[in-house]
Amino acid sequence: MAKKRTLEQEVERLKAVYEVANLMNKYEWLLPGCQFDKVVDLFANKTPGVRAEIGSWGVYEGPEGIKKLFGPGGFHEFLQGTAENPKPGLMVAQTNTTPVIEVAEDCQTAQGVWLCPGYGAGVDPDGNVQATWGTCKRAADFIKEDGEWKIWHYHVYGVYMIPFGTSWADLEDPYELERHKEELPDAIKPDRPTTHPLWHYSKTATVDYTPPSPEPYETFDEKMAC
Amino acid sequence: MATVEELKKKLAETEKKLQHEIGRMQAARICENLMSKYEYLCSHGRVEEVMKCFAQKTPGLRVEMNWGVYEGVESVKRLYLGFHRSFGQTPGSMVILTNTTCVMEVAGDGQTAQAIWYCPGLGTGAGPDGKFHANWGWAKRAADFVKEDGEWKIWHYHVYGITSHPYERSWVEGNANITVDMVPDDEKPDRPPTTDTMYDVSKVDQYLPVVPEPYETFDEKTAC
């Protein structure tokens, strides 16, 4: 049976979908642009439980973890350089497509998942600039903080990352690029290990239905957190 | 205790505010649809219909491509009815630039909107040797929208190229894009481009276009 909502509730829910989608897309514009302060501000830094997990890097928890991962002097600045001095040749674009967004009936939280085809250029261990294709999945739980939507829980799941010119169906070792990850300085290491093993396409791997597509819900339950 | 008149007044104010917010949400959807329509029509060479997407009665209409800026209705017609006419209409020609990762802000006054998109795509066309070449190409789009006779239109439009290269060669080996000397004389822009965002291994990635912020009324200083 269709929910009975007031006009105000319907308008609030419409706005929530638009604002939450905008928020996730702003993240994708600001992060490659080295706008690290602004990325941190997208997160619910006043709400208990704020966290972010990217692929196999691990989990960053609380507002300090968010700063360690996204803020000035943190993980992404270590990889990309600063806004004033970005690393030449480095480029990454991980688009957000195919959104599924569910706003809670109480309109206090929302959940979203995206398919994220992308590409980039980075410096390999030998110092050469290498072009890569990469696709991932993003999932986020959002929450209202001081009347504004923020990212509360954020999780990136791998699909594939391959050097240009390589077919993802022909990779001998799908996890080779993972093994060449840079060793992080202690100050910006994650707070705990990854909660979900990195999945990478291979001819022997079955597609991993993670994250699941969110379903309509009344009120947020930690069991459904991304 | 509020009087009936006071309650009626409050109800009318609330309804007016809600209708305004509904109008802004509708505007966001309409403008996103408009940019998708632009791309769909453009990639199919339906250039007369593409022109209908633009604000032809509002001063300041302009379009910037990698090779230059087209200002005013007649110049924008030169770009689309001229240069873009062959897209998808000449055998073997195909150009597609999808719209993703949209950030859209509709003005508080509901009269303008600003948005940006990441645009993965591809293109196929005949080179100077007459042979067809398949290319991957990514760009970013930014647009300012304005209401004209009650209908949303594209007012300023700016394409920021990122990469463009043959399918068998990676973007770190070099990108080639359309330059003004490749454009026929009667389809050339009015002035040079204001940005150069094509990827190169020796260059740093530029934070352009910037993410639009919530705003009340349009300011030319924030135009794309």
Q: What is the DSSP string of A9-24?
A: HHHHHHHHHHHHHHHH
The upper half-sphere exposure of residue A158, i.e. CA atoms within 13 Å in the direction of its Cβ, equals 23
B204 contacts chain A (CB < 8 A)? yes
| Residue from A140, A156, A165 nearest A199 by CA | A156
Q: Which residues contact B82 (CB under 8 A, 6 or more apart)?
A: B184, B186, B187
Query: Is the distance from CB of A15 to CB of B25 less than 8 angstroms?
Result: yes
A81 contacts chain B (CB < 8 A)? yes
pLDDT at B16 over 60: yes
**DSSP bridge partners of A117:** A135
**DSSP bridge partners of A110:** A103, A142
- Mutation site for A-interface testing, chosen from B96, B100, B106 by largest number of A Cβ within 10 Å: B100
CA distance B204 to chain A (A): 4
Side chain identity at residue B132, one-letter code: F
| Residue from A47, A172, A65 nearest A108 by CA | A47
Nearest residue in chain A measured CA to CA from B28? A18
Of B25, B203, B207, the CB nearest to A14: B25
What does the pLDDT read at residue A209? 87
DSSP β-ladder status, A148-163 and A51-54: parallel
* A-to-B residue pairs, Cβ atoms closer than 8 angstroms: 94
| Residue from B68, B62, B64 nearest B180 by CA | B68
Taking CB atoms and an 8 Å limit, are A164 and B207 in contact across chains?
A: no
Write out pLDDT tens, residues A68-97: 999 999 999 999 999 999 999 999 999 999
For range A8-29, the mean pLDDT: 95
Taking CB atoms and an 8 Å limit, are A93 and B116 in contact across chains?
A: no
pLDDT at A172 over 90: no
Q: What is the DSSP string of A21-44?
A: HHHHHHHHHHTTTT-HHHHHHTB-
Confidence of residue B13 (pLDDT cuts 50, 70, 90): very high
CA distance A163 to chain B (A): 10
Query: Is the distance from CB of B133 to CB of B127 less than 8 angstroms?
Result: yes
Segment holding B20, helix H or strand E: helix B4-43
Taking CB atoms and an 8 Å limit, are A18 and B28 in contact across chains?
A: yes
pLDDT at B86 over 80: no
Sign of the four-CA dihedral A150, A153, A159, A165: positive
CA distance B75 to chain A (A): 31
For range B46-58, the mean pLDDT: 96
Which chain A residues touch B10 with a CB distance below 8 Å? none
B122 contacts chain A (CB < 8 A)? no
